[in-house]
Structure 1
Amino acid sequence: MAYSQAQPSAPLAVPAAIISPQFCAAYPVDLAVVRKVLTLADNFSVTDINGNIMFKLKGSLLSLHDHRVLLDAAGNPIVTLRRKIMTAHDRWQAFRGESTEPKDLIFSLKRSSMFQLKTKLDVFLANNTSEEVCDFKVKGSWFERSCTIYAGESSTIVAQMHKKHTVQSIMFGKDNFMVTVYPNIDYAFIVAIIVILDEINQDAKQN
């Protein structure tokens, strides 16, 4: 792309393109997350409201819970998600492509506190090395699929989850829910957060 995009006169309250500008839309994006409860591998996919695959998850059975790769619709790896072992607050890191090099870090995520009944997670972008104030915060109930993602410590909502009951979800054991990503927010970034949320929840169930 030879030309640069015109910058808005006022800075955005939240950084829009975190993974890539291609995942930012000027309108709200509704995504359906389909989780096949009864399978072990490739059990997580994200579609648009028409059922077209937008993202898939790849993970080997040997490292199912600490290393996952998010693929786009064409099967290209866009984010590698890795759990840091031996951390008290369930810290995860997200890297570009299939890298796990520090230079390719996009963001990290951790629980706000060790013991919590409700979901409360802090997200720090890679350039926020001090981690004194989070860049995004996740609050709500993962069990009820009613989490909201906010910009930093503000009340500005960037994405919301809500449960989706369908005939298919009842018949085929699929754990479906919808995510609405607000305009100009990187929806691949939001999906990456939701994948980590799901992994943390699966670990909690097994402990």
Structure 2
Amino acid sequence: MAEPSQTAPSPTNSICIVGPQYCLPYPIDVGIVKKVMTISDGNFVVTDGNGNILFKVKGVLPTFIHERRVMMDAMGNPVVTLRRKFMTAHYRWQVFRGESTEQNDMLFSAKTSSILYLKTKLHVFLANNVTEDVCDFRVEGSWFDRSCVVYLGETSTVVAQMKRKHTVGSVLIGKDNYMVTVHPNIDYAFMVAVIVILDEINHTGRQS
């Protein structure tokens, strides 16, 4: 199977980061539920609009310099590994293919630009963007309102939107629920990984 593209093409083309199977020709609503009352914190379940499980995200015991999450498909196969780097100038996460954390398997990285005054701003760089002069994607919004928008680079082109989904269960059993609308031909696995990183940033309270 051909390796998916590592570039951010024009909005008329598919934006494929994790894999072509995650790029659909129509919008998809993805539900992300964080299970905060579990033995292992940082666990998520991701479903489609019909409640079918798309992904599960589980935490891995952290080391001195790294913290990790593994995102798996419904069958338990690793899709990507999210790794937080502690000893960096910026609050940064790196995302790798499968269970790898090797540099040549890195798909993208994300770092905070600003999380002051309840405003969230995240810059996302694809693996081949080594200079990081301009981000490939950016996330802006208010985490307090659970309202964030993902843009293509520094443009006004929207590729996904996230909002808080309130349910009785979210109040009673301590779950954070998010609904992400991913635009057509946009890699929804990539978008899920970005939202998980945003959640981690919010709950650690770190600032750039």
Q: How would you bin the TM-score normalised by the shorter chain?
A: 0.7 to 0.9
Aligned to 1:154: 155
Q: Contact conserved, 1:31 with 1:47, CA < 8 A, in 2?
A: yes
With normalisation by structure 1, the TM-score equals: 0.87
Q: Contact conserved, 2:60 with 2:70, CA < 8 A, in 1?
A: no
Unpaired runs of 5+ residues, structure 2, are 3-8
Q: By how many angstroms is 1:128 displaced?
A: 0.7
Taking the aligned partners of 1:40 and 1:160, their CA distance within structure 2 comes to 30
Aligned to 2:26: 27
Taking the aligned partners of 1:50 and 1:168, their CA distance within structure 2 comes to 17
Q: Contact conserved, 1:40 with 1:61, CA < 8 A, in 2?
A: no
Match of 2:33, SS state, is strand
Q: By how many angstroms is 1:15 displaced?
A: 5.6
Aligned to 2:10: 12
Aligned to 2:37: 38
Q: Contact conserved, 2:81 with 2:100, CA < 8 A, in 1?
A: yes
Taking the aligned partners of 1:195 and 1:24, their CA distance within structure 2 comes to 19
Aligned to 1:122: 123
Q: How much is the aligned-residue C-alpha RMSD, in angstroms?
A: 2.0
Taking the aligned partners of 2:170 and 2:49, their CA distance within structure 1 comes to 15
Aligned to 2:95: 94
Aligned to 2:6: none
Taking the aligned partners of 1:15 and 1:138, their CA distance within structure 2 comes to 19
Q: Contact conserved, 1:169 with 1:176, CA < 8 A, in 2?
A: yes
Q: Contact conserved, 2:162 with 2:179, CA < 8 A, in 1?
A: yes
Structure 1 letter corresponding to 2:108: F
Taking the aligned partners of 2:32 and 2:161, their CA distance within structure 1 comes to 12
Structure (1 or 2) with the larger CA radius of gyration? 1
Structure 2 letter corresponding to 1:66: E
Structure 2 letter corresponding to 1:89: H
Aligned to 2:5: none
Structure 1 letter corresponding to 2:60: S
Q: Deviations over 1:84-137 (max 9, x none)?
A: 121132011001001111100100100114x62310010000011110000000
Q: By how many angstroms is 1:153 displaced?
A: 0.3
Taking the aligned partners of 2:92 and 2:156, their CA distance within structure 1 comes to 24
Q: Deviations over 1:162-204 (max 9, x none)?
A: 1111222223222112100000000000001111111111211
Taking the aligned partners of 2:153 and 2:55, their CA distance within structure 1 comes to 25
Q: By how many angstroms is 1:51 displaced?
A: 1.4
Match of 1:112, SS state, is strand
With normalisation by structure 2, the TM-score equals: 0.87
Taking the aligned partners of 2:82 and 2:144, their CA distance within structure 1 comes to 22
Match of 2:162, SS state, is strand
Q: By how many angstroms is 1:58 displaced?
A: 1.8
